[in-house]
Amino acid sequence: MITDMKLRKCAWLLAGAALLILACSDAPLVNPPATGVHMMRFAVDDQPPMGNGDSIVNPGETVSLRTWVRNLDSSVAENVVCYLRLSYADPNVTLLDTVVSLGDIGPLDSAYVGDSAFRFSLAASCSTGHALPLELVSYDETDSARHDRYGLRVGVAALRAVPRVVLAEMVGQLF
């Protein structure tokens, strides 16, 4: 009987001739490096007449998500197609333009989905602070899907001071 050694508790599965480790209780948890095509960054475009131009998603606006993606693999991602999707049903969000084909993206290279490739409208009755369940789903030639959340919340319109100069000739008037 072995009492002075730390025994590793592992679950094993015999699959054909290969022995695979399913879980190991004392093995460190390591996140594998990200691979495939992922969202690199995005910008909210709510220019008039469909929005107020403050780059904040507000109730009643139609918004474009200008999105950049990056291939994190060391090989070419072929025939990349990206979709704007809802991760769950939301009656406040109406998806308008949701698909863009990017073709091939080189290793560690990036691509831009276009100014109006991903568009959605938000209900005027949507409350401030509401989390939008928008996600980018990217597919390539291997049919593997990568999901990235946009992480947007409905905000309050930003008020900005706009400089105005009024010139008037006021002869003989007191202020």
Lowest mean pLDDT among 5-9, 93-97, 113-117, 157-161: 5-9
Q: Which residues, listed in sequence order, are joined to residue 20 by a DSSP beta bridge?
A: 13
Measuring CA to CA, how many Å separate 52 from each of 56, 78, 97, 114, 118? Answer: 9, 38, 20, 20, 18
Give the chain's domains with CATH numbers: 37-149 (2.60.40.10)
- The predicted-structure confidence for 9-50, as pLDDT tens digits, reads as follows 333 333 333 333 444 445 555 555 566 899 999 999 999 999
pTM reported for the whole predicted model: 0.70
Lowest mean pLDDT among 44-53, 60-69, 75-84, 141-150: 141-150
Residue 95 has pLDDT above 60, yes or no: yes
Instruction: Scan for tokens 């008039």, then name that residue.
Output: 48
- The predicted-structure confidence for 97-111, as pLDDT tens digits, reads as follows 999 999 999 999 999
Q: Are 147 and 137 in contact (CB under 8 A)?
A: yes
H and E: helices and strands count for the chain: 0, 11
Where on the phi/psi map is residue 49: left (φ > 0), alpha (ψ -120 to 50), or beta? alpha
What is the rounded distance in angstroms from the CA atom of residue 7 to the CA atom of residue 151?
Answer: 43
